Amino acid sequence: MQDILFDFISKYISLTDDEKNALLSLDLFHSVKKGTVLLKEGQKSKDSYFVLKGCMRKYYIIDGEEKTTAFYTEMEVLTPHCVISKTPSEYYISCLEDTILTISNTDMEAEVNSKFPKFESMCRLLSEEISAKQQIDFDEFKTSSPEQRYMNLLQARPDLIQRVPQQQLASFLGIKPQSLSRLRARIFEKKS
């Protein structure tokens, strides 16, 4: 798993052996069972997550109903908003599969950044990339129909179709599970 992490980091910065060893000494790697809730609404946290293997889901509970807003799979980073704002979380994060993560916290990151300033540069670049991607995803969601959203998902993240329960996928697309079933049937008919 450490090779996967180092390959990812190498897209942004090159690491010396000392820097690799410093990271490895932090006990970053965690195996988390399917169904584990990593963050609950109302909870405070300092933890950030990087998915090495598996799938996590971010969701809100509104009027007793789960509203999925994001899925995080291999090579994706999630720093919950509550970490930055230092306020209680407004949402939940759970594992949809057995997941292998790196989990870091703000104290650990501050220590590494002070010893190795290039990590701070990498984090800034990564934050800018994530912010831009989220803006594009938000704009696409707001300007597309449910069918277009599903087609975009099929093209950009086809693995989610197999990995995620239909009810959660429908919520992510902003529709009811019955509508997703009808939408899939229509698309299948068009292809036939």
- Name the percent of the chain lying above pLDDT 70: 100
The mean pLDDT value of the chain amounts to: 93
165-178 confidence digits (pLDDT tens): 999 999 999 999 99
**CATH T-level assignment (fold) for domain 2-116:** Jelly Rolls (2.60.120)
Q: Which tokens in the block code for residue 72?
A: 């995080």
Q: What is the pLDDT of residue 116?
A: 86
Q: What residues have CB less than 8 Å from 187, skipping those under 6 apart?
A: 147, 150, 151
d(CA 42, CA 92): 9
Q: Which tokens in the block code for residue 179?
A: 């509508």
d(CA 176, CA 124): 37
As a whole number, mean pLDDT of residues 24-38 equals 94
